[in-house]
Amino acid sequence: MALYHHVRDKDELLMLTLSGIADGFPRPDLPADPRARMLAVSVHIHDVLRQIPWVVEILTLGDLTDRAALWMVDEIIGAGLTCGLSETRAVHAYRTIWHCIYGDLVFGNAMAKRAAEQEPDRRRPFPELLADQDGVALPHLTALAGPWVEVTESYDIAEQLEAVVDGLLSRA
């Protein structure tokens, strides 16, 4: 409770906790091409937040950010505008990119935490829970059950963000 003599509320405390985090990571050299810049900043956001999973947990509370991180939002929106998106579509593009990044990080953090807590002989619930009779109702999942782990482990967020960026910019 002594902390609350120095801050207004929990949100202010969390904002102070986030303050300056982005300054601890150098800005990458960004390409001049706006599409490439949008992708580079998107991958940079993911890479930085992957290194500090506790920040992702704070961000789950919504509307909290580090002021020093806003340059990344500005770059993505600016790149969208330069590529011909309207202001509304540029903001929506940023939000779509953010949701992809954030979702990947939240899921990845949860999976890492779960893996660290699991007993070594514990079975994974998927794809092992599929039974032979699922081949009719779930033909695609059943066919992929064998290579599922390999396929999912080959997921590359940068490659997927590139597809998202290309799709968003195709609306310009």
DSSP structural state of residue 19: T
Give the predicted TM-score (pTM) of the model.
Answer: 0.82
Q: 96-116 pLDDT, tens per residue? A: 999 999 999 999 888 888 878
pLDDT of residue 109: 86
Radius of gyration of the chain (CA): 20
Span 15-36, average pLDDT: 79
- φ/ψ (deg, to 5) at 156: -120, 110
Find all residues with CB under 8 Å of 52, minimum gap 6, and list them.
21
